């Protein structure tokens, strides 16, 4: 089932990219494997997927030693400062940085482990009270402040758009994130390299690609519904 789902998702990614006049290679599919067992991750791995997304530190810690070392783990969920040390040398990118305090701890741990960590700034474009992320107008200052820290490299922006049954409703959200991305890029801040735009989930990734996504984070459409007894 996983294999079939992945080929369907890849087909839709390719079609959406083409429709938008983009090269499909500009879009990386992150298979969001939270709550899903290692066996299913292996199935996805065997189809060639190397980018996996998890939203909990504990879950990455458990899965990491059981799976191939060439997997690129993306932390996509809220990260508590006191847990940074556990995943600093395991993840390829942290998508959910939304405070200077968190960035400072990532920097501290990165220097300690002698690594450079790629991060995205999470932006709460739709200003939903239930969501993490900075407000769009705070993003530039946060980028400036983080850009001076060692061991950390800002690569772009991420957003979690509202849950909706009509993906078109999220087009303005994706469009706004893309605009902010271009604005920040135009500031030419030292040590900030805006080349990643993480937006789009199972319900709306084709629209996100049309609006410029370079990472789409797809869980349900690959692995099926999650067991809500397990999820936060």
Ligand X SMILES: *Cc1c(COP(=O)(O)O)cnc(C)c1O
Of positions 17, 29, 76, 177, contacts ligand X by CB under 6 A = 76
Interface with ligand X in residues 81-140 (CB under 6 A)? none
Beta bridge partners of 128: none
Q: Which residue, judged by CB position, is nearest to ligand X in the bound state?
A: 219
Q: List CB contacts of 7: < 8 A, sequence separation 6 or more.
A: 47
- Kindly tell me which residue out of 34, 63, 74, 178 binds ligand X, with binding defined by CB under 6 A: 34
The verdict on 201 binding ligand X (CB under 6 A) reads yes
Which x/- pattern over 137-176 shows residues binding ligand X (rule: CB under 6 A)? Answer: -----------------------x----------------
Contact 76, 98 (CB under 8 A): no
Kindly state the tokens that stand for 108: 């501290």
Using rule CB under 6 A, residue 217 touches ligand X: yes
* Helices vs strands, H then E, count in the chain: 9, 8
Phi, psi angles (nearest 5°) of residue 27:
-110, 120
Size of the site for ligand X (CB under 6 A): 14
């099926």: which residue's tokens?
224
Q: How far is the CB of 34 from ligand X (least distance, A)?
A: 6
CA distance 185 to 97: 18
Among 6, 27, 29, 32, binds ligand X (CB under 6 A): 32
For the purposes of burial, counting CB atoms within 10 Å of the CB of 225, is it exposed (0-12), middle (13-18) or buried (19 or more)? exposed
Give the nearest distance from C-beta 222 to ligand X in angstroms: 8
Question: Is residue 60 close enough to count as binding ligand X by CB under 6 A?
Answer: no
Smaller CB distance to ligand X: residue 30 or 88? 30
Q: How far is the CB of 48 from ligand X (least distance, A)?
A: 19
Q: Kindly report the three-state secondary structure assignment for every residue of 107-149.
A: HHHHHHHCCCEEEEEEECCCCCCCCCCECHHHHHHHHHHHHCC
Nearer of residues 62 and 141 to ligand X, judged by Cβ: 62
| Chain contacts with ligand X (rule: CB under 6 A) | 32, 34, 55, 76-77, 160, 201-203, 217-221
């Amino acid at each position: 089932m996983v294999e079939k789902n992945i080929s369907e998702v890849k087909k839709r990614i390719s079609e959406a990219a083409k429709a938008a006049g983009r090269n499909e290679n500009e879009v990386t599919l992150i298979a969001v494997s939270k709550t899903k067992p290692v066996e299913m991750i292996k199935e996805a791995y065997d189809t060639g997927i190397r980018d996996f997304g998890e939203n909990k530190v504990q879950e990455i810690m458990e899965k990491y030693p059981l799976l191939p070392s060439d997997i690129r783990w993306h932390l996509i969920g809220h990260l508590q400062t006191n847990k940074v040390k556990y995943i600093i040398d395991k993840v390829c990118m942290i998508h959910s940085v939304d405070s200077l305090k968190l960035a400072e701890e990532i920097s501290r741990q990165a220097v300690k482990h002698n690594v450079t960590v790629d991060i995205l700034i999470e932006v709460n474009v739709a200003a939903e009270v239930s969501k993490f992320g900075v407000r769009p107008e705070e993003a530039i200052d946060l980028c400036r402040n983080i850009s001076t820290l060692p061991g950390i490299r800002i690569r772009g922006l991420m957003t979690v758009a509202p849950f909706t049954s009509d993906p078109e409703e999220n087009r303005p959200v994706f469009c706004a994130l893309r605009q902010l991305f271009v604005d920040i890029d135009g500031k030419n801040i030292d040590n900030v390299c805006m080349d990643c735009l993480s937006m789009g989930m199972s319900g709306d990734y084709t629209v996100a690609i049309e609006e410029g996504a370079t990472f789409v984070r797809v869980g349900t459409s690959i692995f099926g519904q999650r067991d809500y007894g397990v999820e936060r």
